[in-house]
């Protein structure tokens, strides 16, 4: 599959570390803006993005990021109708996994080891990768 067709969900902290042009992870933000993959989000993911970005970078940056994300053609809003509750160690992480399952995503990008639970459910066709591995995938 071409990179543009990769179906991806991003954990909040991965997105947060990519926004600043001074960040070594800024390549991810650039990849989002240039449509290198399809990003899937839900209302609760957008709410968490807004809350955490505002906490670390201020309300103006948070609003700008969310406005941009909701306007990009490669960012898709998903309505999930089922809550899987697959991550017991940190139930708050389930929003990302539920979105990925509902979107038939191939990749969930996170530095959070709670997502190793994905390996127990291979039938979803979802792979958890850390940011550096995702960089290699995006570069092809």
Which pLDDT band holds residue 2 (cuts at 50, 70, 90)?
very low
CA–CA gap between residue 109 and residue 131 (Å, rounded): 6
pLDDT at 84: 67
Q: Domain residue spans in the chain?
A: 3-139
d(CA 102, CA 134): 21
| Chain segment 23-51, per-residue pLDDT in tens | 999 999 999 999 999 999 999 999 999 99
DSSP code at position 3: G
User: In CATH, which of 3.40.50.1010, 1.10.1200.10, 3.40.50.300, 3.40.980.10 is domain 3-139?
Assistant: 3.40.50.1010
**What separation in angstroms does the CA of 67 have from each of 24, 71, 97?**
23, 6, 23
Pick from 7-16, 52-61, 84-93: least confident: 84-93
pLDDT-based confidence at residue 121 (cuts at 50, 70, 90): confident
Q: Give phi and psi for 9, each to the nearest 5.
A: -120, 135
The C-alpha atoms of residue 135 and residue 122 are separated, in whole angstroms, by 23
Average pLDDT of every residue of the chain: 91
- pTM listed for this prediction: 0.91
Q: What is the tens place of the pLDDT at every residue in 5-29? A: 899 999 999 999 999 999 999 999 9
Per DSSP, the residues of 78-124 read -----------S-GGGHHHHHHHHHTT-SEEE-S-GGGGGGGG-GGG
**pLDDT score of 1:** 40
Task: Pick the range with the lowest mean pLDDT from 26-35, 45-54, 72-81, 87-96.
Answer: 87-96
């Amino acid at each position: 599959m071409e990179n543009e067709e990769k179906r991806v969900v991003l954990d909040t902290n991965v997105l947060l570390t990519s926004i600043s042009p001074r960040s070594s992870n800024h390549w991810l933000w650039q990849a989002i803006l240039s449509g290198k993959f399809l990003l899937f989000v839900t209302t609760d993911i957008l709410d968490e993005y807004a809350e955490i970005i505002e906490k670390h970078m201020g309300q103006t940056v948070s609003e700008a990021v969310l406005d941009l994300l909701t306007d990009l053609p490669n960012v898709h809003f998903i309505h999930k109708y089922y809550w899987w509750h697959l991550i017991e160690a940190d139930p708050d992480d389930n929003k990302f996994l539920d979105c990925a399952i509902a979107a038939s995503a191939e990749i969930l990008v996170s530095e959070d080891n709670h997502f190793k639970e994905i390996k127990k459910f291979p039938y979803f066709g979802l792979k958890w990768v850390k940011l550096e591995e995702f960089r290699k995938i995006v570069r092809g």
